[in-house]
Amino acid sequence: MHIAILGAGAMGSFFGGLLAQAGNHVTLLDVDEAHLAAVRQDGLEVTTDSGTRTVRNLSAMRPDEAKHPVDLMIVFTKTMYTEVALQSARDAIGPGTVLLSLQNGLGNAERLAKFADVANVMVGVTTWPADKSEPGKVSSHGAGTIRMMTANGAQTEALKQTVATLNGAGLSSIVDANVWAAIWEKVAFNAALNSLCAVTHCTVGELTSTADGEPLALRIVNEVVSVANAKDIAANEEHVVENVRNALAHHRAHRPSMLQDVLAGRRTEIDSINGAVVDAARAIGHAVPCTETLLHLVKLIDARTQQTH
Ligand code: NAD
């Protein structure tokens, strides 16, 4: 399979490395010149619990340099860059190209569907983690899964083939007809912990420093799940509450990606997380006051970041 990874940062490079190792023809597409140069010169170094290896059988270029349609394009930019990235990679998208997003947040299917027939758009969630320490080097520890589906809910041959390709690379994947519930559950988790940590600069564990921290996080979870349920999406509040409590208890030192972005002076994904929930809530006349307040606070931080960088 010829696979392009659009946005080859932490997640994209990790996926690209494993897919190339499994024998696929992989092209990393990114705008980070230092990363592209490092991969071209020394290969991609991938570190997992089973050790470090250098993957050399992949190419790396800017999206506008990719001139031939691929079979599968996996989009792993941050969500606010999806459309500009797809626009610059449009020569690599043909009538048969599958576009897959495992990005966080809401609205991914809609963004991808602007560039391909909806029958070729796939979305999902992944629990695989990844970090990029320096150009050319990615790591991922622990095991993860992928749950995915076509955007229009059709069980297609291309869906089966995409899942098989990911499984062939060890990225354990399943077709999940309830993928929208999984997507909303992950958004509920992120809307609570990412935005609270981004605003307070607390690690996940530090959110329990006062008695009000956990109830506030759980209130946001309740707001987000209520919107999903009102839209007939069967997100399960208990699942998310359990995941939040588990994170507060066991991942105490973790800095969620939104806090890492704030600390590094980068824009956050707040619009596709709290922002998209607020939009969905407004459309059905629901109030989500805590989610909305955090949206505005993080947007103020983003605005200040843009002024000072
Ligand atoms: P990242 O910042 O490490 O990588 C994003 C990459 O996109 C960067 O290399 C950047 O240069 C590139 N990019 C930006 N604009 C581009 C453009 N116009 N064209 C091509 N490339 C462009 O981010 P990440 O941590 O890999 O996360 C990617 C997505 O996956 C996000 O939606 C995130 O929420 C989600 N996610 C991340 C993790 C994780 O553990 N890192 C886990 C699950 C989901």
pLDDT tens, position by position, 80-102: 999 999 999 999 999 999 999 99
Average pLDDT across the chain, whole number:
97
- pLDDT value for 308: 84
> 289 CB contacts (<8 Å, ≥6 apart)?
223
3-state secondary structure of 255: coil
Using a pLDDT cut of 70, give the percent of the chain over it. Answer: 100
pLDDT at 34 over 80: yes
What is the pLDDT averaged over residues 271-276?
98
- 235 burial type by CB count under 10 A (0-12 exposed, 13-18 middle, 19+ buried): buried
* 62 CA closest ligand 1 atom index: 20
Nearest to 247 by CA among 175, 190, 195, 168: 190
Q: How far is the CA of 230 from the centre of ligand 1 (A)?
A: 30
For ligand 1, atom 19, name the residue with the nearest CA. Answer: 85
- Strands 131-134, 137-139: pairing is antiparallel
Q: How far is the CA of 46 from the centre of ligand 1 (A)?
A: 16
Nearest to 113 by CA among 131, 142, 86: 86
Global confidence as pTM? 0.97
Model confidence over 156-199: pLDDT tens digits? 999 999 999 999 999 999 999 999 999 999 999 999 999 999 99
For ligand 1, atom 34, name the residue with the nearest CA. Answer: 104
Q: Which CATH class is domain 2-177?
A: alpha beta
Q: How far is the CA of 281 from the centre of ligand 1 (A)?
A: 27
- pLDDT value for 45: 98
Q: Which helix (H) or strand (E) holds 133?
A: strand 131-134
Burial 186-204 (b: 16+ CB within 10 A, else e): bbbbbbbbbbbbbbeebbb
Q: Which CATH class is domain 180-308?
A: mainly alpha
* 140 CA closest ligand 1 atom index: 40
* 131 CA closest ligand 1 atom index: 41
Residue 165 identity: T
Phi-psi region of 298 (alpha: psi -120 to 50; beta: other; left: phi over 0): alpha
Q: What is the band of 217 on the pLDDT scale with cuts at 50, 70, 90?
A: very high
137, 186, 231, 299: which one is catalytic? Answer: 186
What is the pLDDT averaged over residues 105-117?
98
What is the pLDDT averaged over residues 225-236?
98
- 186 is an active site residue: yes
Q: How far is the CA of 13 from the centre of ligand 1 (A)?
A: 9
* 29 CA closest ligand 1 atom index: 20
What is the pLDDT averaged over residues 252-263?
96
pLDDT at 309 over 80: no
∠ CA 269-76-112, rounded to 5°: 85
* C-alpha to C-alpha distances, 49 to 19, 52, 142, 173, nearest whole angstrom: 17, 8, 7, 19
DSSP letter at 266 equals P
- pLDDT value for 191: 98
Q: How far is the CA of 100 from the centre of ligand 1 (A)?
A: 14
Nearest to 144 by CA among 261, 244, 15, 248: 15
Q: How far is the CA of 28 from the centre of ligand 1 (A)?
A: 12
Residues lining ligand 1, judged by CB closer than 6 Å?
6-12, 29-32, 63, 76-79, 81, 84-85, 88, 103-104, 126, 129-130, 132, 257, 269
Task: Out of 11, 64, 274, give the residue to mutate to test ligand 1, the one with the largest number of ligand atoms within 8 Å of its CB.
Answer: 11
What is the domain partition of the chain in residue ranges? 2-177, 180-308
Nearest to 196 by CA among 219, 226, 227: 219
Burial 97-124 (b: 16+ CB within 10 A, else e): bbbbbbbbbbbbbebbbebbeeebbbbb
pLDDT at 242 over 80: yes
Counting every residue, how long is the chain? 309
- pLDDT value for 306: 87
Nearest to 244 by CA among 197, 297, 295, 192: 192
For ligand 1, atom 37, name the residue with the nearest CA. Answer: 11
* C-alpha to C-alpha distances, 178 to 149, 217, 281, nearest whole angstrom: 8, 25, 21
Alpha carbons 244 and 54: distance in angstroms, whole number: 35
